[in-house]
Amino acid sequence: MEPQFLLAKAKDEELAKKGECGGAVSALFKYLLDQQLVDGVLTLTRGEDVYDGIPTLVENSEEIVETCGSLHCAPTMFGDLISKHLNDIRLAVSVKPCDAMAIKELEKRHQINPDAIYKIGLNCGGTVMPITARKMIEMFYDVDPAEVVAEEIDKGKFIIELADGTHKSVEIDELEEKGFGRRNNCQRCELKIPRNADLACGNWGAEPGWTFIEVVTEKGKTLVENARKNGYIDVKTPSEKAIAIREKIENVMIKLARKFQDKYLEEDYPAPENWDEYWNRCIKCYACRDVCPICFCKECDLEKDFYTDEDEIAPDPLTFQGVRLSHMCFSCVNCGQCEDVCPMEIPLARIFHRMQKKYRDDTGFIAGVSEELPPLYSPEKE
């Protein structure tokens, strides 16, 4: 369908106040639960502090208010959580573009039922690893990370808010130059607006107190219309100027991401001898495979006796990572999870993202976005 732009705001005052922008996302969730259109909503709640995002399934609409707000230091992944544990209910979920990409790939592989899920997309400028965030707040902001009550990313700055209301900000460029800031894969990520979800919600182009929504699917359109009719949200049309501003920021972000792709995947890509060093460390813990939302094969080839040979100190990279590469690299959505969880600090996402990018350049297949399966996909894996 033709994309449609609108500004939305929760009618419920508390949701509007506690929401990141206009609380529209939360209001939509509340509507879906109240009308029993879904059995549960999968979102993120704040745990001990702003660096601690905990996936939470909300079944009672009164609890939605506790999940309001964006957590930029919570690089979570919802794809496999849904395919493995929430496949038996009708679900609505807040998704960053990488969550939406993973879900899309899983839908194509019949691991998630597209008819049973509402994907409420959040635009995403990137996420920061929690411990990295804490360290950089100490170093660059000269603030005790425990004193931060809220954080946001705006106009190229990572901004923190303290209990007394003061704000402090540092340019993300500066942080990233020094090895802090967003995760490397986020720096390379060029899907900033999740047009692979039902709605794409964000602050770009929004007025204060409103959420900018790009309606992507018919399902999303119906949802917004009905939520409005039933008194859950107020809706208005954004100005042409706002739409243009949003588009401009998106383009700047995509350009920046491409620059980072060149940097991480070409210029600074580890040399073969660096990879040898990395593979030497691999402890064959399978964390990278298990966390990858695209790797879902129930009987993984990697568990055949050959690979779990105890005597071998480090697995031969060509066999171990090679199996994974040959099975799924075309579909890598660059979510960065494999790298995040690797106990041995191996920059895994770089390999997979690089391969998908090459494949994409050759075939036009964009993982997590294209409707079809990658041309080399073998369906016996399902």
Site residues (CB under 8 A) for another protein? Answer: 40, 47-49, 51-57, 59, 74-76, 81, 84-86, 89, 129-131, 280-281, 283-287, 290-291, 313-314, 337, 340-345
Of 83, 94, 169, 356, the residue at the interface with ligand FAD (CB under 6 A) is 94
| 7 binds ligand FAD, rule: CB under 6 A | no
Distance in angstroms (rounded) separating the CA atoms of residues 320 and 83: 25
Q: Which of the choices another protein, ligand FAD, ligand SF4, none does residue 21 contact, using the CB cut-off of 5 to 8 A by kind?
A: ligand FAD
Q: In a 3-state reduction of DSSP, which class is residue 92?
A: strand
Beta bridge partners of 117: 91
Quick one: 288 exposed, middle or buried, by C-beta within 10 A (0-12, 13-18, 19+)? buried
Nearer to another protein by Cβ, of 230 and 280: the residue is 280
| 282 binds ligand SF4, rule: CB under 6 A | yes
Chain positions 47 to 76 lying near ligand FAD, rule: CB under 6 A, are 53, 67-72, 74, 76
Of 40, 79, 194, 202, the residue at the interface with ligand FAD (CB under 6 A) is 202
Q: What is the closest distance, in whole angstroms, from the C-beta atom of residue 123 to ligand SF4 in the complex?
A: 9
**DSSP string covering 240-279:** HHHHHHHHHHHHHHHHHHHHHHHIIIIITPPPHHHHHHHH
Q: What is the closest distance, in whole angstroms, from the C-beta atom of residue 328 to ligand SF4 in the complex?
A: 7
Tokens representing residue 332 in the block: 């890598």
Q: HSE on the CB side for 151, CA within 13 Å?
A: 31
| 139 binds ligand SF4, rule: CB under 6 A | no
Distance in angstroms (rounded) separating the CA atoms of residues 203 and 77: 22
Distance in angstroms (rounded) separating the CA atoms of residues 114 and 157: 36
Q: Which of the choices ligand SF4, another protein, ligand FAD, none does residue 25 contact, using the CB cut-off of 5 to 8 A by kind?
A: ligand FAD
- Of 138-146, 199-207, 266-274, 346-354, which part binds ligand FAD (CB under 6 A)? 199-207
Nearer to ligand SF4 by Cβ, of 261 and 337: the residue is 337
| 122 binds ligand FAD, rule: CB under 6 A | yes
**DSSP string covering 126-152:** ----HHHHHHHHHHHS---GGGEEEEE
